[in-house]
Structure 1
Amino acid sequence: MLDFITWTVNPSIVHLGPFEIRWYGLFFAIGFLAGYKIIEKMFKHEKVPDGWLDKLFIYVVVATIVGARLGHCLFYARDYYMAHPTEIFKIWEGGLASHGGAIGIIIAIWIYSRHVTRRNMLWTFDRLVIPVALVGALIRTGNLMNHEIYGHVTNLPWGFRFIDNLHAWMQGAEPVFTAPSHPTQIYEALCYLALFGLLMYMYWKRNAEERQGLIFGVFLTGIFLPRFLIEFVKNNQEAFEENMLLNMGQLLSIPFIIAGIWLIVRAIKRPRTAISFATPGKK
């Protein structure tokens, strides 16, 4: 008899009346704090002008949350949220889309580059995406804790039996378990963690930031190509995806994969360029 994994982790760490801390929120916060420290180290290494880091942090946090929320509302449940617009603000009830977060960050970095660094957007992206890969791994771990975004039924020995009546179970009901399913949250988290290690190596050991756009291109390809492939064994997020050849997550991943490959080829063809901050704020 196959020994499947029965997942009974409670998504809530602390729950006292209206006050609640969930693993998802904790991992999200840890990701942002770790990202801040990683970029701080890189900026000190490059002697980046003072003030750039704190402004970048604010831009990215706001863009990630707003973009991810709007992405979910517009890409996956547009009809519902158009009919109930006030529900868009209820982020604590769940519903964030990574593609929306990516679009939000792109817009934020465009603004940041124009008004803060006055450099090509790729300069910022080549540094920012390194900790973003780590954040992606932590967010998918949060999804695992939430018993959400898992895959199709599987006979593989590492299949997870998730709690299907999670809300009722958290209120005291007996758990109802799913059939053993692909733990796609773990698949994605491991891919993103490996990507984080690769990007750190490229920056600190290979000086890849001297080939503008290379780190960003590897990031886009390394995030969205695994996402595209893993979607084949992941349950669809919304009913409208059932009759689609490729689901929404895959369709949204294709432009990012193409952009990533183009950036890699472009960066390799161009010579290395060492960046100096002798004249801060100038191109």
Structure 2
Amino acid sequence: MESARNTPEAEPTPAPGPVAESAEPATLPVPAEDVPPVPAAVPEPADDEVPPRRRRGGRTLVLLAAAAVLGIVGGVAVGYGVQAEREPTPLPPLNQVDLAYPAKPAAKGQEPPALAVADDRGLKTEGDLRKLLLPKPAGAKDVDYAPEDHWLSASSYAEDFESPSGAFEYLMDNGIRRIATTSWQVGEFKTVHINLLQFRSNDRLGAADRATTLREGLEEENGYGQPLKGSTEGRSYVLPVDREAGFVDVYEARAVVHRGDVAVEVYILDTKKISQKEITSLAERQLGRL
């Protein structure tokens, strides 16, 4: 019995009738799909004939390769000729922090003197970070909500963000070490805040990342900002006035920069317009202490 796969669809059975006798026995029809195809006869090639193969580029590829080589050689020769006719151009100065050296070199045969704190910025930040904060100006008042010891915990710092848990996790992931802070009030409304965020030295570069993140967020709404002297990436920004019905106008200016493993944040809040010069000068003076 044939399988269901090879059985054609059933056709209606004709009515029974007389069976005609035949000299040969009747044979069942074989489905066409069960008949193996008969391969066409392929003449065998003569011994001296070789089947042709498809040329892969042939002469065209050879010509293109030769032209490419000539073009490269010619371009190099012309480039050397043009460069030889030019005047020598001095190299730009290296964009890096000045190296620290002792004020007095060591005499021959003596041990070199140790670097003083003033000569090594790394030694500055390894001491009491709070001493690097700008001092409160004469006539300014303390802010009630500022910590008296000028230390700010990571959780307290994160509370000022829209997502405190996300801000705290960000600080932990980037290796926050400690935060020194200072605040003061001038007159009736003007308030100044400065934060020094020190990160651990690892491959995360937490201080640079914090400064870059804050700077990019400010530039999305306030433009490029004013560069800070003594830094290649530090910027100061004067934000648009914040007006709300029933409340006094609030003006704000910010500055952000980093040096080594310390990120610097400077804020000024007032009910009067804040000049770009004021926030820039304040941030540059704080940067100069690091």
TM-score, normalised to structure 2, is 0.23
TM-score, normalised to structure 1, is 0.24
Bigger proportion of residues as helix: 1
Bigger proportion of residues as strand: 2
Larger Rg belongs to: 2
Q: Does 1 or 2 have the higher relative contact order (CA < 8 Å, sep 6+)? A: 1
